[in-house]
Amino acid sequence: MPRIFFTTDIHGSDVCWRKFVNAGKFYDADVLVLGGDIAGKGTLLIEERDGGWQASRGGRDFRADTREELEDLLKRTRDAGFYPYVAAPEDAERFRGSPQERDAVFERLVRETMARWVALADERLSGTGRTVVVTSGNDDPFFLDSAFTGSAVVEQAEGRVVDLDGHEMVNLGWTNPTPWHTHREVPEDELLKMIAEQADGVRDPQKAIFNLHAPPYNSGLDIAADLDAELRPKEGGAAKVPVGSQAVRAAIERYQPLLGLHGHIHESRGASKIGRTLCLNPGSVYGEGVLTAALVELRKGKVKGYQLIEG
């Protein structure tokens, strides 16, 4: 029976991917599942200037005067979940002036990063019997679904059911609407239909795993800051509300799978039961280079045990 290492919301962080791949051996996991929001959120322009390289992000300026300093800046940028774009002045000017150029550079850098990630997974995991299942999330652009190709161990499972040693896993990265209008979000009734399209084909729902990026509504796994009309946290962030999906909750109540794997709400790490279904959200602090995860052991069609871990 599979021992599952589940993480989510690493948002392009190189260091979190490395930890994820290495977790298979460390935790003796059979299957590594990455549940969505895989891609980073932006590109960092690093411009060649005055004999060195200059960049700005989050109100901070960065300067590299030697190749060693540049390599350090590139590593720190990738570990933080951004894509460094080293450009000559004329290329930097075109990047700043053209949304189409920025989009093209972003897609190229994401695809190059995913190719590096796949290569690392193949190097570390080929021949071990361990596999990696990745699914997209609401923040992930649609081209990400085709970015994990040619791998011996990594399988992109977004939008379809995969078998984990007799446990069928439903995989869907779409969510209920958010204030940020991200790539993959739909009204609740449509989301429920999308889940049902997969779940209705599952042979034994009681042994199934629902890998749904959005956590179920009011499950304790979906608590986030209440925002005003300007998307600012009310009461300085002290006001909290459930923001999960009614559709996900309805699907779990209807099908009662063995296990629900969720993410999306970084600050709502925890476990919850909905009927017989154990639902987990490992949370995310990828920006600090910390990988949060859930280790789940299944045996004889039941959850033998689970552990929320970070490191």
Largest CA distance in the chain: 65
Give the pLDDT confidence score for residue 15 in this predicted structure. 98
Q: How confident is the model at residue 65 (pLDDT cuts 50, 70, 90)?
A: very high
Arithmetic mean of pLDDT, 262-282: 98
Low-confidence winner among 126-130, 230-234, 266-270, 292-296 (lowest mean pLDDT): 230-234
Domains and CATH numbers, the chain: 3-40+110-310 (3.60.21.10), 42-106 (3.30.420)
Q: Which two structure tokens, joined as six digits, stand for 301?
A: 């069609």
Q: Tokens 């909905």 belong to which residue?
A: 274
Q: What percent of the chain has pLDDT over 70?
A: 100
- At residue 239, the pLDDT reads 80
Is residue 172 within 8 Å of 161, Cβ to Cβ?
Answer: no
Q: Which residue has the tokens 């979940």?
A: 81
Q: What is the dihedral of CA 4, 19, 122, 281, to 10 degrees?
A: 30
- In this prediction, residue 81 has a pLDDT band, given cuts at 50, 70 and 90, of very high
Per-residue pLDDT at 149: 84
The least confident of 144-153, 168-177, 277-286 is 144-153
pLDDT of residue 95: 97
pLDDT of residue 232: 85
* 1 has pLDDT over 80: no
Concatenating the DSSP letter of every residue in 2-47 gives -EEEEE---TT-HHHHHHHHHHHHHTT-SEEEE-S--S-SEEEEEE
Cβ 305 vs Cβ 297: under 8 Å: yes
Dist CA 179 CA 62 (whole Å): 31
Say whether pLDDT at 11 is over 90. Answer: yes
Q: What is the pTM assigned to this prediction?
A: 0.96
pLDDT confidence tier of residue 229, bands split at 50, 70 and 90: confident
Helix/strand/coil (H/E/C) assignment for every residue in 155-215: EECCCCCEEECCEEEEEECCECCCCCCCCCECCHHHHHHHHHHHHCCCCCHHHCEEEECCC
Pairing of β 167-172 and β 209-212: parallel
Between 264 and 232, name the one with better pLDDT: 264
Rg (CA), the chain: 20
Cα 191 to Cα 155, 172, 207: the distances in Å are 23, 9, 22
**Residue 227: which pLDDT band, with cuts at 50, 70 and 90?**
confident
Q: Which residues contact 32 (CB under 8 A, 6 or more apart)?
A: 4, 5, 7, 20, 21, 23, 24, 130, 131, 132, 133
Phi and psi torsions of 143, nearest 5°: -65, -15
Q: 96, 47 in Cβ contact below 8 A?
A: no
* pLDDT digit string, tens, across residues 84-111: 999 999 999 999 999 999 999 999 999 9
> 12 vs 144, 165, 267, 288, 307, CA distance in Å?
12, 29, 18, 12, 24
Task: Give every strand in the sheet of 209-212, ordered side by side.
Answer: 162-164, 167-172, 209-212, 259-261, 277-281, 270-274
Q: Percent of the chain beyond pLDDT 90?
A: 92
For residue 167, is pLDDT > 90? yes
> Is a pLDDT exceeding 90 seen at residue 141?
yes
CA 269, CA 263: separation in Å to the nearest integer? 8
Q: Which two tokens stand for residue 229?
A: 């009309």
pLDDT at 238: 77
CA distance 250 to 192: 8
What pLDDT was estimated at residue 228?
Answer: 82
Residue 128 has pLDDT above 80, yes or no: yes
Q: What is the mean pLDDT of residues 148-176?
A: 95
